[in-house]
Structure formats: C-alpha cells, structure tokens
Amino acid sequence: MIEPTPAAQLIKAFVNTVDLENGQDDVASPDELARWLAARQLGPASLRLTDEQHAVFLELRAGFREALDPGHPVFPHHLARADAILADAPVLVTVTRAGPERPLAPAPGLPEARTALARLAVAWAELVLTGQIHRLKRCAEHTCQGAFWDSSRNHSRRWCSMRLCGNRTKARRYAARQRPQRPQRP
C-alpha cells in the first residue's frame, strides 16, 4: 500500500480544515489560520495575518478542493483564483538549499505569510510532480466532499468512508429506485 507523503498529508489537512457537511471551519478567522499554520511549521508561532491574507488562503483552499477530483462538477472560478495565487507564490528551485529530494522551497526573504503560502504551493507542486495528486481525492458524497488518500490498488475509491459517505450515497440511490413512479400525464 502506498502511504501518503508529507506533502499529501499537508494538502489533505488544509483542504479538510472546513467540514462542508456541518459548516465547521477550523480556520474561520485570521488568528485560527495563523495557529493552524504554526502548528504545521508553515509559519512562526508569532504569525499574524490580515483579513486580506486570510481570504487568500481560503481561496487557495477552495481551489485545491476543486482540483482534487475532476469528475465532480467544478467551479472554474475557484480553480482560476487558486492558479493566480500559486502564480504569485515565490518558489525557488534549488539543488543546494533544499537538497535533491526536495528541490522546491519558498524563496528566501519573504514575509511570514507569503512564506507559509509558498510552502503550501511547494507541497502542491510535489504532489503534482510525483504523480501522487491522483491518490488525493475529494469524497464523491455531495454533502461531504472531504479530501482523502486513495490507497486502493486501482485508484478506484470514491468515498472518504464507505461506512458513512458510501453508505449514504448507496442508500439514497436505493430509496430513489424504490419510490413508485407517477404515471405521466397525457
């Protein structure tokens, strides 16, 4: 079984900071986001974010979520905004600073918030460059859409949890098939 890399774990955790089903957002404020970033060594404990910086991180999160599974309906504006944010994230390609196994790093001398953003960009790039982005998926259950790591051999897993999300989807489909169909009016 292929285990998720640290980059995959980071992007999954970032995407899952919001629970769409119950509306809980672990990074709903700039202070909560700063604490989340510091807890993952993406920024210092003293990191302070403005409302504008906070909004940029949330837009990036929405874009990452949309990009995780092209089979779902996609909101192109989320993808376009995330691309614009990533295009502005200063990342350095190096053979000496990060080492050959990690050739990408935030550009030196960035403000703390931009460094944290660049570290998320590096994690995303590592997933794409290694091809592991195809194992990080978005749950097919429309009420959930949480990110999960697909450890199945043929990359066919659709739900974050078969017991919860898979069962809900299948139960809804079954109930829809069991409903009596109304006769069509002439």
- pLDDT over 60 at 81, yes or no: yes
| Domain spans in the chain, listed from the N-terminal domain onward | 6-178
> Which of 18-22, 33-37, 180-184 is predicted with the least confidence, judged by mean pLDDT?
180-184
Q: What pTM does this model have?
A: 0.84
Q: Nearest 5°: phi and psi at 139?
A: -55, 135
Q: How many CA atoms lie within 13 A of 116 on its CB side?
A: 25
**Tens of pLDDT along 101-125?**
568 889 889 999 999 999 999 999 9
What value does the mean pLDDT take over residues 8-23?
93
Given this model, what pLDDT does residue 63 score?
A: 95
Q: Around Cβ 129, how many Cβ atoms within 10 Å? A: 12
Given this model, what pLDDT does residue 159 score?
A: 66
Question: 6-178: what fold?
Answer: Jann2411-like fold (1.10.3300)
Return the higher-pLDDT residue of 71 and 4. Answer: 4
Query: Which residues is 104 bridged to in the sheet?
Result: 93
Given this model, what pLDDT does residue 177 score?
A: 64
Given this model, what pLDDT does residue 151 score?
A: 83
Q: How far apart are CA 170 and CA 141, in angstroms?
A: 10
Given this model, what pLDDT does residue 87 score?
A: 92
What is the H or E stretch that residue 35 is in?
helix 30-39
Return the higher-pLDDT residue of 184 and 83. Answer: 83
Helix (H, G, I), strand (E, B) or coil at 159: coil
Given this model, what pLDDT does residue 11 score?
A: 97
Given this model, what pLDDT does residue 141 score?
A: 76
Cβ atoms 159, 166 nearer than 8 A: yes
Cβ atoms 82, 63 nearer than 8 A: yes
- pLDDT over 90 at 24, yes or no: yes
**Tens of pLDDT along 112-169?**
999 999 999 999 999 999 889 989 998 877 778 888 888 887 776 766 765 667 556 5
Q: Nearest 5°: phi and psi at 140?
A: -75, -15
Q: How far apart are CA 186 and CA 180, in angstroms?
A: 18
Q: How far apart are CA 23 and CA 38, in angstroms?
A: 23
**Tens of pLDDT along 25-70?**
999 999 999 999 999 999 999 999 999 999 999 999 999 999 997 6
What value does the mean pLDDT take over residues 168-176?
58
Q: Around Cβ 130, how many Cβ atoms within 10 Å? A: 12
